[in-house]
Structures are given as structure tokens and as C-alpha cells.
Amino acid sequence: MHLARFPRRFIAHLPTPLERLDRLSAELGGPEIWIKRDDCTGLSTGGNKTRKLEFLMAEAELQGADTVITQGATQSNHARQTAAFAAKLGMKCHILLEDRTGSKDANYNHNGNVLLDHLHGATTEKRPAGGDMNAEMEKVAEEMREDGRNVYAIPGGGSNPTGALGYVNCAFELLAQLNDSATKIDHIVHATGSAGTQAGLIVGLKAMNAQIPLLGIGVRAPKETQEANVFKLASATAEKLGCPGVVSREDVVANTDYVGEGYGIPTESGLEAIAMFAELESILLDPVYSAKGAAGFIDLIRKGHFKKGERVVFLHTGGSAALFGYTAAFDFADRWTGQEKPQAA
């Protein structure tokens, strides 16, 4: 498949490392665990959106854009990477941030990804939860166009057929790494949200007849909705690539049992996953995406879904900058100093 047919801005540090996690594998006593380090893509602490933005921002340049606009939740990794990519190309960036959690914590609202958005020169504005954010974004983009700007709008997560090309390419990259090292794997697992990562991966894997099952651990939507969103985008991406029908509905599998109370709200199992990856492998996860994906992965290993003798790759989608917006979720005194929490009066 000839991805060079599509415009691309080469900024990501690729290929990202593929590493075996010996200590985590020993701790869980199940399959041999590997990790694809897409937290190491190199742009403003890295993450999976950089792969998508290589194709999206190249398209923006071709259209003569001087401004990009996008949207996401308050601690959006996508927003941070878009702001950084725009800064690299000398474009203006405006971001609509949706208040999905309702948190009033100053760290959540001003630190982490939000701090980096602003350091990269982006302007931001807030929206309440539950609205049509893409419609809101288009409304603001139109106002900017009326003021004379050439605006390129990027959907939340960079998840459209152009953005998904980044993860078609990731599937090719991963298969090349496995082939070059004669490493056979049995499963790939990752966190799935706005659908672009999973859609691109499944198209790439199916187009190459990889015969490796892909499992997305959902971080937001119910199973039926998530799988439908991924399949719709995968179908459109395959059409763009000239291989319509390469993905069937049965190829798209999501497990949404680990969302917890809602998007962006940390879970106990996610916090455990953050601690395990940090303490055993010196790898940082974020509470919104990668930790919930890892929590599901860990739980499925414990339940015997992935078995001893198998090799499983966990694709790390990045997001560690969000940790600094979620310090309130960590009980430092109780976990790391051995002190008991003070009792409420």
C-alpha cells in the first residue's frame, strides 16, 4: 500500500521503540508483554496524535491554511500536539476545550496539557459538556474566515480518514519491526476513544493480512457505539486508500468495561496501572486514555483472556503530560509515604 501518495509532514520520531516488558510480564504471570512506545513520537512529550497530524497538517499546508482549529476535552492530548505542530509550522492554533468532567481543580484546568497548549502559543476557549463540539468548532472557524483567516478545521482526536492514515502507517511499521526481528505476536491491545487509532490500525493490519487480532479498550463510549464509530471510520479510511471492504464489522472489537464513572474521571484500576507501569518499567501512563487501556489489559491477563505462551503488544498512546493535571487523584500520603490519610472532622 503506497502511503506516499498522500501529503505528509515528517515530524514524528519514527519508528517508535518496540520493547519487551520483562518485569510486568513476571508480575502478572501471563503472556509475554511487549509495548509499542507511541508515547515517544517526539512532539511536545509525544503521543499517538502526532502520527495523525503528520497527514492532517500536510493537508492544511496544501490548502494554504494560516490557522488550525480543533477541539477536545480540557486535558486533551490531541489539543496539545496540535498546538505544538502548528507552532512548528508557524501557524496560529485555536482550541475549543470541552468541560467534560466539571472539575474545579486549578491543576486540572491550568496545568498539564492546558499549560502546554498555551506555551505553544495556542489560544483556547471553554465549552460546557454535552454539546456538539465539531459544530461549535465550525462556527468559530467560520467567524475566523470572515475575519480573513484561512482556517483548517481538525476534528476531535484528529480522527477522520486523513488522520487515520497515521495509524495505517503505524500498523505497517509495527509489522516491519516484528518481521525484521522474527517476533511472532498473538494480540495487539490499546486504548480507544475518538476511533482514529483503532480504525487506522485495523485497516493496516487487514490490508497486510497480518492475522493479528486487535482489541481496543474503550475510554468513553459504550461498546456498541464505540465499535460502530470505529467501523465507520475504518470503512472510510479503506475507501480513501483504495481497498474498500478490507475491514469487516467482526474485525472491530472494543471492550468498554473499564471506563468507570465517565470520560476523564480516573478509576482505581487505572491508578493501579499507572503505579505498576511506573514502578516496574519506568513508563508513564495518563489517567484518561493509556491508564484505562492498561487497566483493561491487566485485568484481562488476570482473568486468563491472554495466556501464558502468548505474546501481546500493548500500544502506548502517550499522554503523560496529563498526569500533572490530575495530582488530586493520587493519594500520595497513603500510597508513597506509608502515612494514613487524615480523618475528616
Residues labelled as active-site residues: 76
- Are 75 and 326 in contact by the 8 Å Cβ rule? The answer is yes
**Range list of H helices, 128-248:** 133-146, 161-180, 196-207, 223-241
- Are 11 and 43 in contact by the 8 Å Cβ rule? The answer is yes
Show the cell assigned to 106. 486549578
Three-class secondary structure of residue 156 per DSSP: helix
Show the cell assigned to 344. 475528616
CA distances from 120 to 13, 30, 43, 108 (A): 19, 42, 11, 18
- What does the angle CA 49 – CA 212 – CA 219 come to, to the nearest 5 degrees? 40
Phi and psi at 85, nearest 5°, equal -65, -40
The one-letter amino acid code at 173 reads E
Residue with the three cell numbers 474566515: 145
- Are 95 and 70 in contact by the 8 Å Cβ rule? The answer is yes
Residue 16 backbone class (left: φ over 0; alpha: ψ -120 to 50; beta: rest): beta
DSSP assignment letter at 270: H
Phi and psi at 257, nearest 5°, equal -80, -5
179 Cβ contact list (under 8 Å, min separation 6): none
CA distances from 164 to 6, 39, 169, 206, 239 (A): 12, 17, 9, 14, 12
CA 86 and chain centroid, separation: 19
Residue with the three cell numbers 500493548: 314
- Are 162 and 187 in contact by the 8 Å Cβ rule? The answer is no
